[in-house]
Amino acid sequence: MFAHQRKLFITIILLFLFTGCSKRDASVNEAQVILVSSSTPELATTLPPTPTATSVHPSSTPVPPTYTPLPVTNTPKPTATPTTLPEDLELVNLKTQDGFNLVGYLHQPKTSPAHPIAVLLAHEYYSSHQSWETFADRLVEAGFPTLTFDFRGHGDSPGTKDFSSVGNDVKAAIRYLNQQGFKKIICMGASMGGTGCMAAAKEMELIGLVNLSGPQDLGAGRLVTRQDLENLTIPKIFMIAEEDQAGTDFVTDFIEMVETTAEPKEFYLYPGYAHASGLLFEDNGEEVQEILLNFVKGFSQSPQEQPAVTTIDCQAAGLPEKACTGVSTNDEWTPIIREFDSIPMTLVPAGCFIMGYDENLPEEQPVHEICFEQPFWIDLTEVTVAQFAQFLNGQVEPVENYTYWLDPGNSVFPTAKQLIFQGNQWIPMPARVNHALESVRWVGADAYCAWRSARLPTEAEWEYSARGPDSLLYPWGDEFIRDNVVRWLSRNIVPEVGSKPRGASWVGALDMSSSLFEWTSSTYQPYPYNAFDGREVSILEDETSHRVFRGSAWYHPDGMHDNVSATARFSAPPGYAAWYYGFRCAQSIGTGG
């Protein structure tokens, strides 16, 4: 026992020297290394006293079990469907990008309304969704919708076990939650599930991440690179046992991975041999569950702002320092355009502007200053017919009727045909491929952006992207120029996107004046704008309030210059559509790119 204590003491000293970290109170906003040991009680005071728990190891000196992953089988596993499910549990299909239909289980709280935050739980190798069920119940009792699922070849999901696909499987689960309207998602993963969460976070928008014993390397190539870790700026928790069943080298590699990962983060090193979800149930299991539950609750206690993007983050993302330190005039900025899944987006740097316009309609008053402390991306153009066709074809089940998302037109608003259903998929009409999508409902715009792991811009983001720190009245300046405004070609046919490059805004965004009205995420409320006063809510929280759309529309006559300005505000119910409604998406830095 003395030798064991000496070994642990040396491990702790070396780890503190290696990390340069000290004990501090738990907080999702700052990094810390917390070492918990029954043989060194003075270190355990960092956390609340551990409740009595039954250990899976005998009280005498335990013999470490041998950790040997079972061999991967090459026999595809057929789909299995449970015969009965509890009332609060829904069986769902999660479609991966390479065509697998994974089996998932959506746990819905009985309380109403549920939190707008959803939690995704990803299991370890050769296990199933059931390894998380006890903790999933606790999350649901606390009011958080929770999704568990089986990786391909595991549990009820078909396919062959494949380490290289864990990131894609997790992304399929995140996309499903996005499609259900969840914009705030926390991914918790055990072992390969933790690796899957980190791999998915490179491209998908998450607000938090928990990794229980999940390595960078699963033997199928390094799914998460050093640069990926340095760019992972969302709040994170890492946990591992000091004598993890996977071996000493595994623990050392895990600690090095934690050291490389960007702030904010917390790291807990527990005594014992528990691996992955075993940490939830062994000696410190109750404490582990409380820490994770409080981590989730911390996001719901107040509006969750994204962590500040630092100069280092900007450099790691390949962005100029000014993008994060901010600009004070439009001329300070040169447009930066990048493609995300073949869709061009333009970068909007941090900065401030005057929102509203005192000399126009009352809805645009009073004018007030809005500041953005971090940059974001916005689509270069409005979403096109071809891009929306990809969304329809990317659903789990074939979509034969799109009217929930898109209005096909009627006698009052006769929409020119945009899409045709052919060969079990939607294709754009040849003359409309690169034209802005018309007649879209807010729910359709919201669902499309979520499918892309993006989101609708807030009306403040939209207006800042159009006007900039100079607070221009139009995207190009303060004087109306007819040739800069997108006008119709004929009744119900808007030109191709980007047809008026001289009308571009200061960040390079095209077609923000006229063309189509563009939906934003915001519910319609009086000025001054405040993102935290309840106007930025999901469709799950507010199904009826009118949503704001901006930018005017291409049918307006020349005399309606006030409606073509970047300050004009309009609104409609989220299920309503007209032939002049379109949209574009936005995306935060570090989420999806």
Q: What is the predicted pLDDT for the residue at 556?
A: 53
Lowest mean pLDDT among 78-82, 333-337, 340-344, 400-404: 78-82
Q: Residue 440 corresponds to which tokens in the numbers above?
A: 């879209």
Lowest mean pLDDT among 18-32, 244-258, 281-295, 554-568: 18-32
Residue type, 26: A
The percentage of the chain sitting over the pLDDT mark of 90, rounded to a whole number, equals: 47
Cβ–Cβ < 8 Å for 510, 501: yes
pLDDT at 49 over 50: no
pLDDT at 17 over 60: no
CA dihedral 573, 578, 581, 585 (to 10 degrees): 50
Cα–Cα dist 593/375, whole Å: 12
CA 534 to chain centroid, in Å, comes to 20
Q: What is the predicted pLDDT for the residue at 4?
A: 36
Please tell me if the domain spanning 89-298 has the same topology as the one spanning 327-381+435-588: no
Task: Encode pLDDT of 316-361 as tens digits.
Answer: 778 898 998 899 999 999 999 999 989 999 999 999 999 999 888 8
Mean of pLDDT values over 450-455: 89
Cβ–Cβ < 8 Å for 363, 569: yes
Question: Model confidence at 30, in pLDDT bands (50, 70, 90)?
Answer: very low
What is residue 150's DSSP assignment? -
Cα–Cα dist 129/127, whole Å: 7
Q: What is the predicted pLDDT for the residue at 203?
A: 84
Per-chain mean pLDDT for the chain: 79
pLDDT at 470 over 90: yes
Which DSSP string do the residues of 14-30 spell out, in sequence order? Answer: HHHHHH--------TTS
Cβ–Cβ < 8 Å for 566, 475: yes
Q: What is the predicted pLDDT for the residue at 9?
A: 35
H helix or E strand, kind and range, residue 135 = helix 133-141
Lowest mean pLDDT among 42-56, 415-429, 579-593: 42-56
Task: Number of helices (H) and strands (E) in the chain: give both, helices first.
Answer: 14, 21
HSE value, Cβ hemisphere, 13 Å, CA-based, for 457: 30
Across the beta sheet with 376-379, what order do the strands follow? Answer: 337-340, 343-348, 376-379, 586-588
pLDDT at 379 over 90: yes
- Is the model more confident about 146 or about 89? 146
Q: What is the predicted pLDDT for the residue at 400?
A: 73
Across the beta sheet with 89-95, what order do the strands follow? Answer: 32-35, 265-270, 236-241, 208-212, 184-190, 117-122, 146-149, 101-107, 89-95
Lowest mean pLDDT among 12-21, 45-54, 545-554: 45-54
Is the Cα torsion angle 441, 444, 446, 448 positive or negative in sign?
negative
* Pairing verdict, β 89-95 and 101-107: antiparallel
pLDDT at 72 over 50: no
* Pairing verdict, β 343-348 and 425-428: unpaired
Q: What is the predicted pLDDT for the residue at 312?
A: 57
Query: Please, what is the Cα angle at 499 between 493 and 501, to 5 degrees?
Result: 155
582 φ/ψ sector (left φ>0, alpha ψ -120 to 50, else beta)? beta
Q: Residue 398 corresponds to which tokens in the numbers above?
A: 């074939």
Question: Model confidence at 529, in pLDDT bands (50, 70, 90)?
Answer: very high
H helix or E strand, kind and range, residue 294 = helix 285-298
Q: What is the predicted pLDDT for the residue at 371?
A: 92
Q: What is the predicted pLDDT for the residue at 554?
A: 65
Lowest mean pLDDT among 230-244, 273-287, 409-423, 452-466: 409-423
Cα–Cα dist 357/471, whole Å: 9
Cβ–Cβ < 8 Å for 527, 364: yes
Cβ–Cβ < 8 Å for 551, 516: yes
Mean of pLDDT values over 512-531: 91
Q: What is the 3-state secondary structure (H, E, C) of 469-484?
A: CCCCCECCECCCCHHH
Cβ–Cβ < 8 Å for 445, 519: yes
From residue 356, alpha-carbon distances to 366, 410, 444 in Å are 7, 35, 27
Mean of pLDDT values over 70-74: 32
Q: What is the 3-state secondary structure (H, E, C) of 46-74?
A: CCCCCCCCCCCCCCCCCCCCCCCCCCCCC
Identify whether 51 is preceded by a cis peptide bond (ω within 30 of 0).
no
Lowest mean pLDDT among 117-131, 309-323, 350-364: 309-323
Q: What is the predicted pLDDT for the residue at 493?
A: 64
Q: Residue 579 corresponds to which tokens in the numbers above?
A: 């032939």
Lowest mean pLDDT among 30-44, 234-248, 372-386: 30-44
Tokens 């494949």 — which residue? 162
Q: Return the number of other C-beta atoms located less than 10 Å from residue 480's C-beta.
A: 16
| CATH topology for the 89-298 domain | Rossmann fold (3.40.50)
Would you list the domain boundaries of the chain?
89-298, 327-381+435-588
Question: Model confidence at 431, in pLDDT bands (50, 70, 90)?
Answer: confident
H helix or E strand, kind and range, residue 377 = strand 376-379
Cβ–Cβ < 8 Å for 340, 205: no
Cα–Cα dist 402/348, whole Å: 32
pLDDT at 22 over 50: no
Q: Which residues are within 8 A (CB) of 291 and not within 5 positions of it... i.e. 6 or more apart? A: 26, 47, 237, 268
From residue 387, alpha-carbon distances to 106, 175, 419, 446, 584 in Å are 29, 17, 11, 14, 11
* Pairing verdict, β 343-348 and 337-340: antiparallel
pLDDT at 410 over 90: no
Identify whether 158 is preceded by a cis peptide bond (ω within 30 of 0).
no
pLDDT at 510 over 70: yes
Mean of pLDDT values over 19-31: 33
**E strands along 25-181, which residues?**
32-35, 89-95, 101-107, 117-122, 146-149
Q: What is the predicted pLDDT for the residue at 405?
A: 86
Rank 58-72, 78-92, 318-332, 578-592 by mean pLDDT and report only the highest: 318-332
Superfamily for domain range 327-381+435-588? paralog of FGE (formylglycine-generating enzyme) (3.90.1580.10)
The percentage of the chain sitting over the pLDDT mark of 70, rounded to a whole number, equals: 76
Q: Residue 390 corresponds to which tokens in the numbers above?
A: 């990809």
